[in-house]
Amino acid sequence: MPSPRPESTMTCRIARAASLFEQERTGNTPKSVTVVLSDTTLVITLHGALSEAEKAMAKSPEGAAQIQNFHRQLFANGSESLRQEIKRITGVEVREATAEVEPANGTVVGVFKSGSTVQVYQLARSVPADTWNASESRD
């Protein structure tokens, strides 16, 4: 059996959806996206997601707090479309979603000083590994 084409795996489709979501909600296209699934936890890391102005602003404690608040609000108010896309791709409902922002030290999930954003989604159930790695059907 041939290996699935990398660009058609669930991982790649979710990465593309997350990158597009970030571009639509912030105007910034991440430099790269990492997607990891472990049991019912889906983690999406958007590398280089902050604008140059946000990175400069995050250098001060006050600016970092404003960046945190801004990205939390954006995510809280606009993540439904990405949640629905994850459900469409995986076939599993997204039970919880959060994006915690910490630009100061980069040690927690969120927007890091380097400009990365990590998003964690709690799925309602596990996605089987063979389904996760399978190519998208072209019905």
Tens-digit pLDDT profile for the chain (139 aa)? 555 555 589 999 999 999 999 899 888 888 888 888 877 888 888 888 888 888 888 888 898 889 888 888 888 888 899 999 999 999 998 888 877 665 643 322 333 334 556 666 767 888 887 887 777 655 4
How far is 131 from 34, CA to CA, in rounded Å? 18
Q: Where are the domains of the chain?
A: 6-125
Structure tokens at 96: 């919880």
Strand order from edge to edge, sheet including 32-38:
32-38, 41-47, 117-123, 94-98
DSSP β-bridge partners for residue 120? 43, 98
Amino acid letter at 26? T
- E-strand ranges in 1-139 read 32-38, 41-47, 94-98, 117-123
